[in-house]
Amino acid sequence: MTGKMYDKVRSFKSLRGVEESIDLMFKSLKKPDLGVSEIAVSDSLHHFCAVHVLSRFDSPKYDKSAVDGYAVISEDVLSSSTTNPTVLRVIQEIRIDALKEKIRPLCNGETAIVYTGSPLPANSNAVVMVEDTKLEGSSVLVYRSVPQWLNVSRRGEDFVKGSVVVEKGVLIRPWHLAALLSTGSGKIKVFRRLRVGVLSTGSELKYSTSQNKSVIDSTKPLILSMSCEEFCEPVDLGVVEDDVEIISSKILEASSGVDAIVTTGGTSVGATDLVEEAVTKIGYSSVLFYGVRMRPGRPTGLALVQGKPVFMLSGYPVAAFTGFEVFVKPAINFLRGSKPLSYPVIKACLTRRLVKPVGVKAFVRVKVEKYYKGGFSVEPMRLTGSGLLSSLTRGNGLLIMEEGLEGYDEGESVDVLLFQPLEG
Amino acid sequence: MTGKMYDKVRSFKSLRGVEESIDLMFKSLKKPDLGVSEIAVSDSLHHFCAVHVLSRFDSPKYDKSAVDGYAVISEDVLSSSTTNPTVLRVIQEIRIDALKEKIRPLCNGETAIVYTGSPLPANSNAVVMVEDTKLEGSSVLVYRSVPQWLNVSRRGEDFVKGSVVVEKGVLIRPWHLAALLSTGSGKIKVFRRLRVGVLSTGSELKYSTSQNKSVIDSTKPLILSMSCEEFCEPVDLGVVEDDVEIISSKILEASSGVDAIVTTGGTSVGATDLVEEAVTKIGYSSVLFYGVRMRPGRPTGLALVQGKPVFMLSGYPVAAFTGFEVFVKPAINFLRGSKPLSYPVIKACLTRRLVKPVGVKAFVRVKVEKYYKGGFSVEPMRLTGSGLLSSLTRGNGLLIMEEGLEGYDEGESVDVLLFQPLEG
């Protein structure tokens, strides 16, 4: 029976603001040398591009027809109309796979049959759609005029040779992959995946037996999965008991094999404080902040161990979720030089009044729904309850309330971050 | 030299509207028996839940303390204040992993040290935070009153035993995975992934040689990757030349091994028409629609072959992208009974006037950016150019313009679907 264990709780008196903590984080993080590997573009979906990839050629490679029809010299058909068609001589048919150098140039009064994608013959500068023509033997009647370059895909109009197709740091989505292939890249340099190690602390987790399965660690799997969704390689560092020495050596040991560590605090008193203490004991380490004026997620901290960031998150799943969103995600993107995959923001009207203490930034889980009058309604799930996973599984958004704010009125319009798509 | 190849083009005269086509699709699709497998919850990220999963117990399993402090009978501390503290006798310390049945019930005048997560002793109904107390030997001074259930996580407040934790058809995200684990599910039944076969047609692709690599198939990799992002299992069915018999037998052969087929039309004249013709030749097949009043993506169709949907998309990447968004994605979600993963919608102001022909639904690729005055601007990339991948790699949104619409004015506020997150 002891009040000693409560000392740690009291040490939270010196809390930092969220923005101040984020600033500290960005000032201290150093980009690791992630290493680059070359892979087939066809395997590159959801990798991060390690270089600016340039187009190997003009794409299209030459002026191409954008429709099925007749390649013409636009001046030839200037006066064409339904009542006064121009007659042109069909001198060739150009297939899509025709070799440019084998195509005869057009002279005035001549035309060529082209298909969508066919290279245009030299001298031609427009295409008349087949619907506006009538073939008669080896001549064609053209019933309308076409301005220069009508129905033509100009050489290089998609990508000019040497222009950037995909920038360094971009997450490769299906259209990037297709654009890379279409501009001559068969292989691509991508960054090695960022390795995020996740360590649970808590004797109650370590020694949870089959007789006493009352304490289930859902926070580590949550953070491992969130790292996965951020296209990192999650590394399960296991569970350690509430012992400073053991936590210290585990973090030190793990730090050489990963790019960042996330610890989840277990649920013991002072468990996250133990991590802070453990980290402090390690050489070449420093605690940047510990304890943040946010809710949930007050016991959140960041240290550097051997140059690697160690995010100390709460053992409570929703508090850990918030800590991951606020600190780990931006850090991940900084470390690998990628653009953040931010959640979409939606404007919605509060279904009820929402108050919170001043001096703490709140991340309220909410449910956004389509409103009967059009627009969207937002129903707060719960202001407190950092252990309540149902606020995430039943909700779909985060409403962020700034530190200085006292609350919102019913009906007020607010911005919500959607972590799940809207239903319906 | 022939006008015959153009006959197909003319057959497009009987186009259907997008909504009518979608209705036809939903009336004809039949859900396949996807089959179910049981996997570890820890491996279930991004699978689709095949049953309603119920909580195995109340979660939390019992009333727990939500803070570090003292469990009390709230009536005992009713008159407590900083000037008039209540003195309670500390009878026990309850650790987080304490067995509920070994905890002594409280009597009036008694209290127990509890930690965040500790089970409460019987008869207690509130917790006083440690900050509002002072321990003196085996007694504690309580400096404030607490209403019933203050600082208590009530039994079952996250999930009541037997309540639905994750619904059938839900895509398992990190918080679902965590909620499943925390409510006693170690394994989960998930659907087999929907198999989407993708077949390229086009002799120019089939016979593209090293001397003539002018025609690169970027559309099949695009559709394979998009299927991947929809959490399907993409099956590469290869490339076939523009030959009705070969296309027929390839589709028939493939249909038994996949749940849906997507063909991309190559770029030859009538190539997609060839697919339509090929499909019609197969027994037990029917073409539901072919040719849609949309732009890009006019040559889009749907047939059923042996009960399996065959989506006939353009060979042009952006037209195929649009066809996939409009038809294949909703069909995929219908077939596996999942909720659509719709893109977020954002309201933004047009930077310039945008016109389109009446009688065609347009899917304009746009770039949405943060506006200097707050709000968002939307810059149309290109109304035409179904081959221009740069409109997808440089853009981030789709502006949908309904059939009857003539256009939008500069400065008009429009809804945009974001397929890529906003920058910054």
Residues B293 and B361 in one domain: no
Confidence of residue B411 (pLDDT cuts 50, 70, 90): very high
SS3 B316: coil
Residues A221 and A204 in one domain: yes
| pLDDT attached to residue B276 | 87
| pLDDT attached to residue A406 | 95
The answer to whether the CB atoms of A179 and B393 lie below 8 A apart is yes
Q: How many helices (H) and strands (E) does chain B have?
A: 10, 26
Residues A187 and A55 in one domain: yes
- b/e code A362-391 from CB counts within 10 Å (16+ = b): bbbbbbbbeeeeeebbbebbbbbbbbbbbb
Q: What is the identity of the amino acid at A55?
A: S
| pLDDT attached to residue A371 | 79
Q: Is residue A272 part of a domain?
A: yes
Among the candidates B336, B361, B377, a domain finishes at B336
Q: Is residue A214 part of a domain?
A: yes
Q: What is the identity of the amino acid at B178?
A: A
- CATH assignment of the domain containing A364: 2.40.340.10
- CATH assignment of the domain containing A240: 3.40.980.10
Taking CB atoms and an 8 Å cutoff, what residues of chain A touch B138?
1
- CATH assignment of the domain containing A53: 3.90.105.10
> Which residue out of B41, B64, B116, B210 would a mutagenesis test of the A interface target, given it has the greatest number of A Cβ atoms within 10 Å?
B116
Nearest Cα of chain A lies from the Cα of B94 at a distance, in angstroms, of 10
Confidence of residue B206 (pLDDT cuts 50, 70, 90): low
Q: Is residue B423 part of a domain?
A: no
Cβ proximity of B65 and B152 under 8 Å: yes
d(CA A414, CA B303): 45
Domain count of the fold of chain A: 4
Tell me the whole-structure pTM to 2 decimals: 0.91
User: Which pair of tokens denotes residue B77?
Assistant: 């501390």
Nearest Cα of chain B lies from the Cα of A338 at a distance, in angstroms, of 11
Residues B255 and B115 in one domain: no
Residues B200 and B185 in one domain: no
| pLDDT attached to residue A91 | 96
Lowest mean pLDDT among A373-377, B86-90, B182-186: A373-377
Q: What is the identity of the amino acid at A390?
A: S
Taking CB atoms and an 8 Å cutoff, what residues of chain B touch A5?
68, 115
The answer to whether the CB atoms of B1 and A90 lie below 8 A apart is yes
Residue A9 has pLDDT above 70, yes or no: no
d(CA A250, CA A265): 14
Beta strands (DSSP E) in B95-142 are 110-114, 126-129, 133-136, 139-142
Beta pairing class for A361-370 and A294-295: parallel
Q: Give phi and psi for A248, each to the nearest 5.
A: -50, -55
Lowest mean pLDDT among A11-15, B120-124, B229-233: A11-15
The answer to whether the CB atoms of B182 and A216 lie below 8 A apart is yes
Domain encompassing residue B128: 64-153
| pLDDT attached to residue B88 | 98
Please state, rounded to an integer, the average pLDDT across all residues of chain B: 90
Residues B120 and B221 in one domain: no
| pLDDT attached to residue A98 | 86
pLDDT higher at A148 or B5: A148
Q: Is residue B106 part of a domain?
A: yes
Taking CB atoms and an 8 Å cutoff, what residues of chain A touch B370?
none
- CATH assignment of the domain containing B76: 2.170.190.11
| pLDDT attached to residue A387 | 67
Nearest Cα of chain A lies from the Cα of B177 at a distance, in angstroms, of 7
Q: Each residue of B24-74: pLDDT tens digit?
A: 999 999 999 999 999 999 999 999 999 999 999 999 999 999 888 999 999
Taking CB atoms and an 8 Å cutoff, what residues of chain B touch A175?
222, 317, 321, 389, 392-393
User: Which pair of tokens denotes residue B145?
Assistant: 């009153």
Taking CB atoms and an 8 Å cutoff, what residues of chain A touch B333?
none
Residue A170 has pLDDT above 70, yes or no: yes
Query: Vertex B366, ends B363 and B372: CA angle to 5°?
Result: 145
The answer to whether the CB atoms of B96 and A342 lie below 8 A apart is no
In sequence order, the β-bridge partners of residue A416 are: A346, A399
Q: Each residue of B236-248: pLDDT tens digit?
A: 999 998 889 999 9
Residues B165 and B222 in one domain: no
A22 C-beta neighbours (distance < 10 Å), count: 18
Cβ proximity of A143 and A132 under 8 Å: yes
Cβ proximity of A201 and A265 under 8 Å: yes
The answer to whether the CB atoms of B130 and A6 lie below 8 A apart is yes
| pLDDT attached to residue B285 | 84
Nearest CA in chain B to A3: B135
Q: Is residue A68 part of a domain?
A: yes
The answer to whether the CB atoms of A317 and B219 lie below 8 A apart is no
The answer to whether the CB atoms of B342 and A421 lie below 8 A apart is yes
Taking CB atoms and an 8 Å cutoff, what residues of chain B touch A221?
41-42, 174, 177-178, 181
Q: Is residue A424 part of a domain?
A: no
Taking CB atoms and an 8 Å cutoff, what residues of chain A touch B346?
344-345
| pLDDT attached to residue A13 | 54
pLDDT higher at B336 or B422: B336
Nearest Cα of chain A lies from the Cα of B124 at a distance, in angstroms, of 19
Residue A214 has pLDDT above 60, yes or no: no
**Mean pLDDT across the stretch A175-204?**
94
| pLDDT attached to residue A133 | 95
Q: Give phi and psi for B336, each to the nearest 5.
A: -100, 5
| pLDDT attached to residue A51 | 97
Nearest CA in chain B to A183: B216
Q: Is residue A423 part of a domain?
A: no
> Which residue out of A206, A213, A393, A398 would a mutagenesis test of the B interface target, given it has the greatest number of B Cβ atoms within 10 Å?
A393
Q: Is residue A276 part of a domain?
A: yes
Residues B330 and B256 in one domain: yes
d(CA A205, CA A207): 6
Query: Vertex B25, ends B19 and B30: CA angle to 5°?
Result: 150
Taking CB atoms and an 8 Å cutoff, what residues of chain B touch A387?
60, 66, 117, 153, 158
Among the candidates A152, A177, A210, a domain finishes at A152
Taking CB atoms and an 8 Å cutoff, what residues of chain A touch B66?
384-385, 387
DSSP annotation of A97: T
> Which residue out of B196, B214, B369, B388 would a mutagenesis test of the A interface target, given it has the greatest number of A Cβ atoms within 10 Å?
B214
Only one residue has tokens 């449910």, namely A367
The answer to whether the CB atoms of A393 and B342 lie below 8 A apart is no
ipTM: 0.90
| Helix ranges, B171-323 (H) | 174-182, 203-206, 219-229, 244-255, 271-281, 317-323
Nearest CA in chain A to B220: A178
**Mean pLDDT across the stretch A332-355?**
89
Residues B220 and B269 in one domain: yes
Lowest mean pLDDT among A50-64, B260-274, B300-314: B260-274
| pLDDT attached to residue B274 | 85
User: HSE (CB half, 13 Å, CA atoms) of A280?
Assistant: 12
d(CA A173, CA B225): 8
Residues A127 and A114 in one domain: yes
Among the candidates A301, A336, A371, a domain finishes at A336
Residues A119 and A55 in one domain: no
SS3 A144: coil
Residues A251 and A358 in one domain: no
| pLDDT attached to residue A1 | 42
d(CA A173, CA B35): 29
The answer to whether the CB atoms of A214 and B179 lie below 8 A apart is no
Taking CB atoms and an 8 Å cutoff, what residues of chain B touch A420?
173
Please state, rounded to an integer, the average pLDDT across all residues of chain A: 90
